[in-house]
Structure 1
């Protein structure tokens, strides 16, 4: 029997806290650099006390509250408390630019903000009440989380807070898109939207309560928030990272059985494996190199002697990168290069790529155990309907947003009169129901001579060069195609340890330019005349969120890059 009888996030919280007694439900790294646990019972107690305190501060049904903090148990506890009061949470990426931070606060009319970084206080221009975590400011309109939880406990001893019981069509959250095509858009998600995702994921995975999760993506990312909601509904143990740079260590410490990741992490691991092979002694290098290239084959026989040899001597050690127990490694947020996907599957890392967007809460389709095809974004979620119209993927279902905040015109433009959401993605669906995402419509450029250039696959091929972290193709309204190539910073840092040289000097070496040009020449041989990369510029600046090259969800911000590097682009024409 399916125990998922809840239809709102509040009912899911009741289900979680009455069904499971997990003593290590939520885990965070404390001041002693050790994991500290919050049990399911303690979580419930903290939420109840916080509800009373927040209600006392004036938060009620319909109040807009920003959650501007790193992912942690306290992020979830705060969010659960808001739901219990009928307030509307507005998650904001901890690493967001100051411009977008203030845009989102103003656009959503947030009256309160939960914040854990004292260094971002001065960035906030809007009039707002602060609820701080990990620091304390003794001024008007500043309240500390730990102190108000204690205050809430005292209030609970005298009277109960007024609990809100939402309908499934009530607003659950306003989640902003990452803003890689202009200002972020506020997506209105309902309780039905998020709960339909929880139920769909459960149909495909069905986690046992003994599983262990390592959460590395920000909860402001709807991908992680949806999957986190599913984790909570299963009562599993969830471990939060303290810093993204510590992921490699924590994978070995926690030894998770499930993780959600973005392709950028997998790409870094893949290229690090490739680089490390060249540093090994001769015999080990030869063996590892043979094993590496064998794992890139399209069809390998896992019963063969060769696979068993490589598996024992090489692949088993590579799986230890993820802790050695991983059962589900789910990648989303951007397309994963096909060779990298195949590589991890061939070394028996159970990797599953999905596809989605904030507007669909977010998962539209995914690969899953028993249905996993390399190069695809999997099959549509159980409750989702998909179809192709003029090469564009359309989707509808209970996960589809209510609309865009303060933008009825855009809502009508993207959701047609029959309820189909136009994704803006060029795609196809094969006879088995697997979805192939070919590109974003906005990433197909028209040259000044009238030919079309699909940027994404070319950029992915360029990024396979060991000196290039990512590429941005330039061809829209241009007479020929060029590229901005953002260099691999880590490769330079390794070299700098034994050589006194600047990054510009390192990447200005003739041998590096020749290696990049050779890579481009091989790629150009596979491309149409108008797609061929005629010129390129190496960009040695670090690509950062603060600098505008990346969005908070680590997507490449093409428009911002074209503006920032307009002189470099102009010099190629």
Structure 2
């Protein structure tokens, strides 16, 4: 029976797999776990505890924490009461936390620790009650209680008819308010219902990677982001999959070896870093090893091309590759593929990426190594999935086809429009923005894209990010940034040039790889600022940009490269919590360096004239 709401969805999974591991997390140096029945019991008692402090239907409850079991418990406990969760990225500073609490009308906040508690206290918005997951060094009182104490209180004070209450929650009940990253203005609260998520889950369950109860999903993205919340939590919990929390992005490699995941969701930046690391290791190997690797990569490309170029009907009737290709694949798997898969835990059967544009060359690289990366497209406002590449017919360089219950069309100006049961209810307390973005049921995404002859969607860039040069040429910066990010020595690249004669790239160094390079060159310092100021380091990074963009059109190629000595972070305002660039902040912060770059007369009139051709 199809569930009416997400709480009922989870209850059905608990009935099927009560003794199976639901959640795993690192504790005291090793992974521990919680069964689906144990997970449900924690949800129930936490719901009772929240009710005891006054949480009732339609109340807004903030969750300010890194991903952990208590985040998931809180999410479902809040929903079971008919209340509304308001997730907040734990990396946000106190002034932005205060904005979300105020805009979301939050009366209660569930926070991770004392650090997050202080953000709530420092803000202008005062909550009626705050619950702290880790209460070490926290002063508890009438308005501040520990999560464990709240749950224990709930166990002693059961809520009458709790099960009847959540069973009666309708599909169109508001489930959560997720605030946008606010790259172009104040964050907007996206209202998503139970139906929004359920419709998305039903559409992609057999379209993407068919999740199984025996799967293990490694979760490292913040659950406060809609992509991880739906694809990395609701979907696995719907299928009875085990969710294992990574300790942090820095420990992913170690955590993969410990939990041996079979599936994973990620943003493109992780794949860019893994790609750069693998290429570096291959290039530093012997000529024989390099030759074997390139051969194996070529064999993998042949397999990918075979599946893409063979008619679907023929694949279904006779799923047999040419015998020579089969033999070569078996040998390549033994010599190369398995060794790289072992770095991912040895059991990875598929990874899903979203939240940004993945470089097609990197995607094909992983496919050729028999590590499928399925790219999709979506937004917070669409719960989030709009399109995705099916496992059986993934087309590298695209974000896939619209999922079965969603319609996509391209407006006359190239903007992607979306219609379906996954589209949000609107922006909280912002009818003007809602009416602007949803017209006749079609959500205007703000992204420029195109559908190919087979119906696969390709995203070019954000509409507001398209650069219009003074020469009249239009440049989409995202693909150029993605290519530059392939460099092992570059952490982030930001391409600018709107209203200018030519394109300039701002880059920050990847210190993990730059410091060893510097030592090999006899440079002793590990200081970021000192390294970035050196002429030889500047030349290295500028040469990397030139190398990686040499096949781009002349007017798309950065004529100047500005090396930024500072690290770009969420806290510093250069990045959003999903590691996208906050271009307005970046251009304002480095306006002097940008003006100096464009004021330099070293770009010849001949070069600028060539761009206008």
TM-score bin (small chain): over 0.9
More displaced 10-residue stretch of structure 1: 119-128 or 181-190? 119-128
Q: What is the CA-CA distance between 1:312 and the residue it aligns to?
A: 2.1
C-alpha change, 1:132 and 1:230, in structure 2 (3 Å) is: same
Q: In structure 1, how many angstroms separate the alpha carbons of the residues matched to 2:557 and 2:214?
A: 52
Asked if 2 retains the 8 angstrom alpha-carbon contact of 1:100 and 1:184, the reply is no
Q: What is the CA-CA distance between 1:407 and the residue it aligns to?
A: 1.2
Asked if 1 retains the 8 angstrom alpha-carbon contact of 2:495 and 2:503, the reply is yes
Asked if 2 retains the 8 angstrom alpha-carbon contact of 1:201 and 1:230, the reply is no
C-alpha change, 1:76 and 1:518, in structure 2 (3 Å) is: closer
Give 2:357's aligned residue. 335
Give 1:458's aligned residue. 480
Give 2:148's aligned residue. 146
Give 2:178's aligned residue. 175
Give 1:92's aligned residue. 88
In the alignment, is residue 500 of structure 1 matched against residue 524 of structure 2? yes
Give 1:263's aligned residue. 268
Asked if 2 retains the 8 angstrom alpha-carbon contact of 1:492 and 1:503, the reply is no
Q: Which of 502, 505, 509 is 1:487 aligned to?
A: 509
Asked if 2 retains the 8 angstrom alpha-carbon contact of 1:387 and 1:395, the reply is yes
Give 1:403's aligned residue. 426
Q: In structure 1, how many angstroms separate the alpha carbons of the residues matched to 2:351 and 2:202?
A: 19
Asked if 2 retains the 8 angstrom alpha-carbon contact of 1:425 and 1:439, the reply is yes
Deviations 1:178-237 (A, max 9, x none): 222232211000111011111112232432212221111111010111121111111122
Give 2:607's aligned residue. none
Q: In structure 1, how many angstroms separate the alpha carbons of the residues matched to 2:392 and 2:338?
A: 22
Q: In structure 1, how many angstroms separate the alpha carbons of the residues matched to 2:393 and 2:329?
A: 23
Q: Which of 176, 190, 194 is 1:191 aligned to?
A: 194
C-alpha change, 1:239 and 1:497, in structure 2 (3 Å) is: farther
More displaced 10-residue stretch of structure 1: 92-101 or 266-275? 92-101
Q: What is the CA-CA distance between 1:159 and the residue it aligns to?
A: 5.3
SS at structure 2 position matched to 1:571? helix
Asked if 2 retains the 8 angstrom alpha-carbon contact of 1:489 and 1:542, the reply is no
C-alpha change, 1:497 and 1:112, in structure 2 (3 Å) is: farther
Work out the number of aligned pairs and report it.
Answer: 567
Q: In structure 1, how many angstroms separate the alpha carbons of the residues matched to 2:577 and 2:545?
A: 30
C-alpha change, 1:306 and 1:232, in structure 2 (3 Å) is: closer
In the alignment, is residue 218 of structure 1 matched against residue 241 of structure 2? no
* TM-score in terms of structure 1 length: 0.93
Give 1:478's aligned residue. 500
Give 1:6's aligned residue. 3
In the alignment, is residue 40 of structure 1 matched against residue 36 of structure 2? yes
Runs of 5+ unmatched residues, structure 2 = 307-321, 599-613
Give 1:27's aligned residue. 24
SS at structure 2 position matched to 1:569? helix
Q: In structure 2, how many angstroms separate the alpha carbons of the residues matched to 1:270 and 1:520?
A: 17
Q: In structure 2, how many angstroms separate the alpha carbons of the residues matched to 1:517 and 1:262?
A: 26
Give 2:165's aligned residue. 163
Asked if 2 retains the 8 angstrom alpha-carbon contact of 1:444 and 1:455, the reply is yes
More displaced 10-residue stretch of structure 1: 352-361 or 488-497? 488-497
SS at structure 1 position matched to 2:494? strand
* TM-score in terms of structure 2 length: 0.87
Q: In structure 2, how many angstroms separate the alpha carbons of the residues matched to 1:60 and 1:147?
A: 19
Q: In structure 2, how many angstroms separate the alpha carbons of the residues matched to 1:283 and 1:529?
A: 37
Give 2:465's aligned residue. 443
Q: What is the CA-CA distance between 1:419 and the residue it aligns to?
A: 0.4
Q: Which of 230, 250, 263 is 2:235 aligned to?
A: 230
Asked if 2 retains the 8 angstrom alpha-carbon contact of 1:52 and 1:160, the reply is no
In the alignment, is residue 347 of structure 1 matched against residue 369 of structure 2? yes
More displaced 10-residue stretch of structure 1: 208-217 or 496-505? 496-505
Q: What is the CA-CA distance between 1:485 and the residue it aligns to?
A: 1.5
Q: What is the CA-CA distance between 1:242 and the residue it aligns to?
A: 2.0
C-alpha change, 1:72 and 1:550, in structure 2 (3 Å) is: same
Q: In structure 1, how many angstroms separate the alpha carbons of the residues matched to 2:74 and 2:23?
A: 13
